[in-house]
Structure 1
Amino acid sequence: MNQRMPISRRNLLLGAAATFGVPAVLAGCGSDQPATPGKASGNSLGTVTIGSNASDEVPKKSLASVLESFTSAQVKINTVDHNTFQENINRYLRGTPEDVFTWFAGYRMQFFAEQGLATDISDVWREIGGDYTPAFKAASTGSDGKQYFVPFTYYPWAVFYRKSLWAEKGYEPPATLDEFTALARKMKADGLIPVAFADKDGWPAMGTFDIINMRTNGYDFHISLMAGKESWTDPRVRQVFDTWRGLMEFHQPAALGRTWQEAAQSLQQKKTGMYLLGMFVAQQFPESERDDIDFFTFPEINPAYGTDSIDAPIDGYMISAKAKNVEGAKALLKHLAQGASQNIATKLDPGTLAASSKADTSGYSALQKRGAELVSKASHIAQFLDRDTRPDFASTVMIPSLQSFVGAPNEIDSLLAGIEKQKANIFR
């Protein structure tokens, strides 16, 4: 979901530690940050610990800056790279987790709430609820009607490009898939790789699947498929992969050996013409070039659905069921829910938008304003494939399956049969 780091030997060590019952984030490979703030005026609630997946430089700095103004307790952050945190979250929460942990809204939040691994924060929501829209509250609510999550920031997925390059070449945003394909052919003729693409980390290709599925079959079918209620051998799913296969010739080659950061850098360097990714693509551009970034929503495929749906994942915070300092943790979540706190984050991280309706958006960059407008116009907002389905299905089935497709896009039937067989064993 989705600013993640590539798997490394360090990640493998963490995974091995988790396998033998050592909580992944506490296995000695995380990056402990000193307790903050060091102000003596407050700290009446002791120390609150945070297990954080904000491992990239920009979001890591953003969180640290937000916490500087929290004086009710000291805060100790244990930062672990994004992929490792996500892959080991279940073992982590069942082990000895920190009080507060970074996580995702929607199905991903509900899954751990249902497992009894999160603390009910409905009392927190009685204080902060007026600062959020009903949609954000719904995304923070478990199947039992209680709240378990505080939204912090979110970001839309769209097709990003450099305005200066497009002006030079005379390119225009496409409105339909046919126009998109024609534009890609023109880019190819102009010596550009049309579509930046990377899937070394396993999750970026999920965004491509999501948008083609929602454009082809609509939001309701997509969400039902993610919930295990539809068959992966359904002709409608095959059509998604057929459409995607037809676009592969325009994708950056050797994607399984490339990180999203490297693909974003190719866009920044004007080696590629466009890139379907979250708005955090801006992190890979120098500040002086961020005004040159623009985007369009992925074009229409099926007129019945148009462009009514997008992915716009919500990142935020939860309290673990095993939290040692629940009072301090709830105070921290109230601080993170403030519009002023989120403003600090969105100013430092150009690829995010504030979740609170009380946040001051007047300081948004042109890109952030466009992002907020895109989300406000969407009829349906998905959370991203690995957040809209079971964590085990996303990690053990969909990551390898989509990487297999990227590597061999002609093997669709056997691929979908394999996904369906594994799905049946997971969704019982």
Structure 2
Amino acid sequence: MVHSPGSGPGGCAHRAARGVTRRSLLRGAAAGAGAVAVPALLTACGSGPGGGVTLGSNASDAVPKRAYADAFAAYEKKSKKDVKVNTVNHENINRYLQGTPDDVFTWFAGYRMQYFARKGLLADISDLWRGFDGFSDAVKKQSTGEDGKQYFVPYYYYPWAVFHRKSVFRTRGYEIPKNFDQYRALARQMQKDGLTPFALGDKEGWPAMGTFDYLDMRANGYDFHIALMRGEKSWTSPQVRQVFDLWRGLLPYHQKGANGRTWQEAAQSLQQKKTGMAVLGLPHPGQQFTVQNRADLDFFPFPEIDPAFGQEAVEAPVDGFLLAKKARNRAGAEDLLRFLATPQAELIYLKSDPNNVAVNSGAGTGSYDALQKKAVRLVSGARQISQFMDRDTRPDFASTVLIQAIQQFIGDPDDIDGLVNGIERQKKQIFAAD
């Protein structure tokens, strides 16, 4: 088992986590809803009352793993209590939670949290929330289950936008596009200049979801998009067909072979100035840029398509922590969660991982770099905030239908009718299962 540096002694035997990916998390969530997935054989060690707290973390990349270790080490120093961090591959998150899970584990806000709360696999932490400060009503809503109780402790968020290098735009004379026509014109100009306009790596199945989300929210509005994700709108509607048609017009300006390229490779191509733009979340290019060239990284909001909706919606997923219903050391876990909900705990994390933004308003922005401050302005100015396709819909629908559908579209964008009909047919089956 891989332990983080601040996990303390006396770990337990877990299966080693290698290459924890968002797609593996999605497959695991799907398995809990009846889809086929490879069992992860997760067996948390747990701890008795009064002992250390176990924490299941899906952070296997070096930067967030180190940042979490710093935060947990600070808690250990303050509380004199151990935090045993198990870097686990939540390959089958449902089975993990029904088995012997860690006391606390990293997860996502919004619908992805509500899904497992509804299944009775999470502990109600409404009592803890009554003592929390610094979280907006919007953040609290994203931490609340369908029953009105709180289950989630938010930790940080990061916006999705169109990333680019300042120096490329400056030397080429490119201007930031405000609307979709200007966006396509810029892509055409980049291609004429011998630069691949858009980086794209969708090997994991989720990175391209961000492009769909923005196209849908800009063309049809936030309310339609969320209703679509919740199964309340038809994928065969003219609105959805328009989204894929708009996207089809952009695909010739993207890197070829996207379904065989990782998001890291796509972000690296932006860093190497082989591509001009990339629709990603802040941590993705952020982790691929060195300290020396990070100042050259910049972003702009996804351009307007319909003036009625403008650029008012922003994709800004919130990550944080959940308390397992089967936690063996609930008192210790709640004490850890109280600490993690403080602005101090968030700032400790962000000192080692500047690719995110604190959720707690008390954290302040004095230590932020220019990119983080710009991210705060983008999100604070949004009228609506989405969580991301695989977080705003059922995890089984995202993993067994949408991942494959979007990869299919990238590989063959000309059969939109067949694509949307297939998605709608499977959507009806999955959403009717509850």
TM-score computed with the length of structure 2 as normaliser? 0.89
The aligned residue for residue 78 of structure 1 is: 86
- Does the 8 Å contact 1:6/1:200 carry over to 2? no
Q: Counterpart of 2:74 in structure 1: which amino acid?
A: S
Q: Cα gap change, 1:22/1:233 in structure 2, threshold over 3 Å: closer, same or farther? A: closer
Deviation at 1:19, TM superposition (A): 7.0
Q: Does 1:182 align with 2:180?
A: no
- Residues 15-414 of structure 1: matches in 2 within 5 Å? 24-26=41-43, 45-71=50-76, 72=79, 73-80=81-88, 84-85=89-90, 87-128=91-132, 130-280=133-283, 281-414=285-418
Contact 1:308 1:380 in 2 (8 A): yes
Could you say if the C-alpha distance between residues 75 and 236 of structure 1 is closer, same or farther in structure 2, counting changes exceeding 3 Å?
same
Aligned counterpart, 1:424: 428
How many residues are paired up?
402
**1:241 aligned partner, one-letter code:** F
Residues 309 and 380 in structure 1, CA contact (< 8 A), matched pair in contact too: yes
Q: Contact 1:23 / 1:95 at 8 angstroms: preserved in 2? A: no
Q: What's the secondary structure of 2:287's corresponding residue?
A: helix
Paired with 2:223 and 2:209, the residues of 1 have a C-alpha distance of 17
CA contact (8 A) 2:23 2:206 kept: no
Residue 412 of structure 1 deviates from its aligned partner by 0.8
Amino acid of the residue matched to residue 310 of structure 1? V
Change (3 A) 1:162 1:111: same
CA shift for structure 1 position 20: 9.4
Q: Say if 2:268 and 2:288, in contact at 8 Å, map to a contact too.
A: yes
Match in the other structure for 1:40: none
Q: Which amino acid aligns with 2:172?
A: K
**1:248, CA displacement in angstroms?**
0.3
Q: CA deviation at 1:311?
A: 0.7
**Amino-acid identity (%):** 56
Give the AA of the match of 1:210: D
Letter in 2 for 1:147: Q
Unaligned runs of 5+ in 1: 36-42
Could you say if the C-alpha distance between residues 323 and 294 of structure 1 is closer, same or farther in structure 2, counting changes exceeding 3 Å?
A: same
Partners of 1:185 and 1:261 lie apart in 2 by 25
8 Å CA contact 1:66–1:345 kept in 2: the answer is yes
Aligned partners of 2:23 and 2:205 also within 8 Å: no
Q: CA deviation at 1:4?
A: 6.1
- Between the aligned partners of 1:90 and 1:204, the Cα distance in structure 2 is 23
For 2:43, give the aligned amino acid: L
Q: Which runs of 5+ in 2 are unaligned?
A: 1-18
Letter in 2 for 1:133: S
Check conservation: 2:49, 2:328, Cα contact below 8 A. no
Q: Which moved more, 1:135-144 or 1:212-221?
A: 135-144
Q: Once the 2 structures are TM-superposed, how far is the Cα of residue 360 of structure 1 from its aligned partner? A: 2.6
More helix by share: 1
Alpha-carbon distance in structure 1 between the residues aligned to 2:348 and 2:176 = 32
Partner Cα distance (1:179, 1:120) in 2: 48
The one-letter code matched in structure 1 to 2:194 is G
Contact 1:6/1:259, CA 8 A, preserved across alignment? no
In the alignment, the residues of structure 2 paired with residue 223 and residue 20 of structure 1 have an alpha-carbon distance, to the nearest angstrom, of 27
SS at match of 2:156: strand
**Separation (CA, whole Å) in 2 of partners of 1:233 and 1:19:** 27
Deviation at residue 21 of structure 1 after TM alignment? 9.5
In 1, the alpha carbon distance for the partners of 2:92 and 2:377 equals: 35
One-letter amino acid of the counterpart of residue 82, structure 2: Q
Deviation at 1:351, TM superposition (A): 1.3
What is the one-letter code of the residue matched to 1:148? Answer: Y
